[in-house]
Chain A
Amino acid sequence: MIELLAKTPCDGLLPRTIGTVTLTEISFEAITSVAPLTGQEDAVSGTLKAQMGAAFPKPGRTTGKAHARAVWSGLGQALVLGPALQPIPGAAMTDQTDAWACVALEGDGARDVLARLTPLDLRPSVFRQGHAARTELAHMSAVLMRTGESRYGIMAFRSMAKTLVHDVTEAMTSVAARTRL
């Protein structure tokens, strides 16, 4: 039998530190999309909370904590990052563990780096800790979340992992260069 080696989406590309900002890859045991059927929102939220400790997030929000987080990802849908889930009655679920490249951008100036890549309003008073957004990042569809004062989670499609790292590190280089002036 052929022995296959599991590789993470950003294998060989990360971590990178440029200036004061660091880009690292995050791996989760599982990524599952959860979409409650009409009228089942409260029941699904309760079951989800019992299973992994986080309720179904409201639009533009995250619930839970690192490695057990639910992220709002669109109309009536959340992505659960962390433990593998058991089937939830009343919800449509898909396993997306291998579909996403997940990275964390952290450090002084992380916001300046993101501001070069996305049209999202990133001001700290608007995009607060615990907020999430489905938006575009360097013309890629992405999920952004603010997980700390100067820490952001970024998810992009796995097929775009190399592009994601390229574009973010380009922006990191530009921000670092400006800081040195």
Chain B
Amino acid sequence: MRIDCPLCGPRDRREFTYQGDALALDRPDPEAGFGVWNDYLHNRDNPAGPTRELWYHDSGCTAWLVVTRDTVTHEVHRVELARDVKEAGK
């Protein structure tokens, strides 16, 4: 598996560390309530198909990335800097 880092170009999977669902970027309001926070902290979907994940390019540029990939075909559809994703969501 290769991940096409927006800064470094296509790199081997061993340079990256997997963190979890990119949902972690959407931190709820501190007062959002128990149900919302419970979802944010503990509940994740387990899709057979496209999924958005956070990966860390620890042996490369040390950037956090949002990787959109397919858990069925292992195809990597899109790789963005988490910083850019966060900026775009503002």
Contacts and interface: CB of A to CB of B under 8 A. Distances in A.
A134 B12 contact: no
A31 to B, nearest CB: 18
Interface in B51-74: 59-63
Interface in A65-94: 74-75
Contacts of A60: 7-9
Interface string B6-42: 0111111011000000000000000000000000000
A75 B62 contact: yes
B15 A136 contact: yes
Interface residues of A, number: 12
A23 B56 CA distance: 32
A75 B59 contact: no
Contacts of A141: 59
B6 to A, nearest CB: 9
A119 B9 CA distance: 13
Given A119-B14, A136-B14, A59 B7 contact: yes
A135 B7 contact: no
B2 to A, nearest CB: 9
A55 interface: no
A133 interface: yes
A74 B8 CA distance: 9
Contacts of B7: 59-60, 75
B60 A135 contact: yes
Given A134-B59, A134-B60, A141-B59, A121 B10 contact: yes
A133 B12 CA distance: 13
Contacts of A133: 8, 60
Interface string A122-157: 000000000001111000010000000000000000
Contacts of B10: 121
A134 B57 CA distance: 10
A154 to B, nearest CB: 14
Contacts of B12: 119
B15 A119 contact: yes
18 contacts: A59-B7, A59-B8, A59-B61, A60-B7, A60-B9, A74-B60, A74-B63, A75-B7, A75-B62, A119-B11, A119-B14, A119-B15, A121-B9, A133-B8, A134-B60, A134-B61, A135-B11, A135-B59
Interface of B: 7-12, 14-15, 59-63
